[in-house]
Structure 1
Amino acid sequence: MTDEDLKRQPEGVQRVAAALKAAGHAHMPRMLDDAARTAQQAADALGIDVGQIAKSIIFRRKADDAAVLVITSGDRRVDEKKVEALVCADCGGKLGRADAEFVKAKTGFSIGGVSPVAHADLPVTLIDRELFRFSEIWAAAGHPHGVFKLTPADLEHLTGAPVADVVAL
């Protein structure tokens, strides 16, 4: 994607591209023909295994109204109790579901396009260790049609987040 092409992209994609460029990441966002609001849609569009999709799940930490971002493998389901134990232990709070308004306000992205980088407010972030089964993964790039390629190690570097066991058995 050239700089001119990037200027014609949605604002969220531009923010993600700028964050990736600033971090020296080798792969810029790619726009898909169809929306990839789900991990399965993204995997089908890219011709990859659904587990290679790094899906972004946002929770609301009730104690301080913080956004909690869990980046998990597309073929796994997040165990909310495991996440709660990791991010609410010190504050004695609970996790709650995040509605579309909360997600947009805290991340700057709409559901279906939440990127692991370039958030409006820095979320509390955890990376699912199950992503490390793959040498290449893909994440949302700030828009339901936008994705970018990376490795699990890149994801750690870009987010600074810890890797944890966050999925249901």
Structure 2
Amino acid sequence: MTPPERVAEALRGLGLADSVRVFARSTATAAEAAEAVGCEPGQIVKTLLFVADGRPTMVLVAGDRQVDTAQLAAILGVGRKRLKMGSAEEVRAYTGYEVGGVAPVGWPTRVDVVVDASLRRFARVWAAAGATNAVFGVATEELVAAIGGQWADIAREPV
């Protein structure tokens, strides 16, 4: 099973519509994905892996924002120095996906999920679907509810 097929299966398992789209071009960055699907960059969900004191945490942030690691560390109850971005190897190990194609669904093990509150600006968002050229669209609130996400103010606007 390909990673996008695994994402489609995970979406169906969560009761979400399978809306995986595979492109001939890259959708690995928020700008590339937004151009491919014809939406605002903020509607692209960046799915990031952070490790807080050895505990993996999935972080979903709007494509036009950056994670404020101090705020995230406080929410996770660790000092800022105890929070780090997952390495490419950790991302593969925890998610089963390569960097640039990490989907917020279909992970081999359940982890904590923190979701950037600025994503609530959008009724519908797009997220990576397991490959650097695949995405899926979904209602924002439905995705967050299905994956057990916790809403939080964890992002800052770009300068």
Find the residue that maps to 2:156 and give its secondary structure. coil
SS of 1:18's partner is: helix
Task: Tell me by how many angstroms 1:121 deviates.
Answer: 2.2
Q: Give the aligned length.
A: 157
Higher fraction of strand: 2
Alpha-carbon contact 2:70-2:80 (below 8 Å) kept? no
Confirm whether residue 160 of structure 1 aligns to residue 148 of structure 2.
yes
Instruction: Select between 18-27 and 127-136 the one with higher mean Cα deviation.
Output: 18-27
User: Following TM superposition, by how much is the alpha carbon of 1:158 offset from its aligned partner in structure 2, in angstroms?
Assistant: 1.9
Q: TM-score, normalised by structure 2?
A: 0.91
Deviation at residue 153 of structure 1 after TM alignment: 0.6
Q: Deviations over 1:62-88 (max 9, x none)?
A: x2x222111011000110111111113
Flag structure 2 segments of 5+ consecutive residues without an equivalent: none
TM-score (norm 1): 0.86
* SS of residue matched to 2:39: coil
Of 133, 139, 151, which aligns to 2:139? 151
Alignment-derived partner of residue 17 in structure 1: 8
Q: Does 1:28 align with 2:49?
A: no
- Equivalent residue number for residue 44 of structure 1: 35
Per-residue Cα deviation, 1:23-78 (whole angstroms, up to 9, x for no partner): 221233110121111111100111110000011111122x2x22211101100011
In structure 2, the residue matched to 1:114 is 102
2:58 maps to a residue whose letter is: L
> In the aligned structure 1, how far is the partner of 2:77 from the partner of 2:108?
22
1:104-124 Cα distance to aligned partner (Å, 9 max, x none)? 011111100111111122222
2:128 to 131, 136, 140: 140
Percent sequence identity over aligned pairs: 34
Q: How far off is 1:92 after superposition? A: 9.7
